[in-house]
Amino acid sequence: MYSGKCLCGAVEISIKGGISDIIHCHCSLCRKNSGTAYATNGFVNSADFIIEKGQQALSAFSLKPGRTRYFCQHCGSPIYSSNEQDKLRIRVRLGIVDSEIIERPMSHNFVDSKASWEDFTADLPHYPTFEPSRVK
C-alpha cells in the first residue's frame, strides 16, 4: 500500500495495489503541467486509488475531451488524471507519493520534445541539501 498527499496536505491519497507502467514523460503538456523537465507518472487500478481526505479540494482541468487532470485547488499539486477510454486505470503523478515505491520507471517518453536544457547524460554534482553557493 502506498500513501501520499499534495504540497499543502489538503488532499491525501492511498493506493491499495501496485503501480505499473511508470514513465518519465518529457512531452510539452507534462512539462507545463508540472513546471519541471519531465513528469513521472504511473498507472494504478481505479479501484485501488482512494482519496482519503480532501475530495472537495480537488479541481479538474480537461485539455482534451475525455481526459481530465485533477489537482489540489489550494496548492496546485497535480494528483492524478483519468481517461474515458481506460476507466479501469488512472495515472498518478508519483511526486505526491510519500511511501517508498518499489516499482521502477521503464522509460523516458517523448524525448524529442524534452526541455532544451535537460541533459540526460550530464555529470552534475549531487548534494544532500542546497548547492553550496546558495545564500541561506
> What is the CATH classification number for the domain harbouring 7?
2.170.150.70
Whether 120 maps to a domain, the answer reads no
Alpha helices (H) in 10-103, listed in sequence order? 28-34
Number of domains the chain contains:
1
Mean pLDDT over each residue of the chain, to the nearest integer = 94
31-78 per-position pLDDT tens digit: 999 999 999 999 999 999 999 999 999 999 999 999 999 999 999 999
- pLDDT band at residue 12 under the 50/70/90 scheme: very high
Distances in whole angstroms, Cα of residue 14 to Cα of each of 4, 105, 112: 6, 20, 33
Whether 135 maps to a domain, the answer reads no
Can you give the residue range of the structural domain that contains 86? Answer: 2-113
Whether 106 maps to a domain, the answer reads yes
pLDDT of residue 136: 61
CA dist., res. 70 & res. 72, Å (int)? 7
Whether 128 maps to a domain, the answer reads no
Q: pTM of this prediction?
A: 0.88
CA dist., res. 2 & res. 40, Å (int)? 16
Whether 130 maps to a domain, the answer reads no
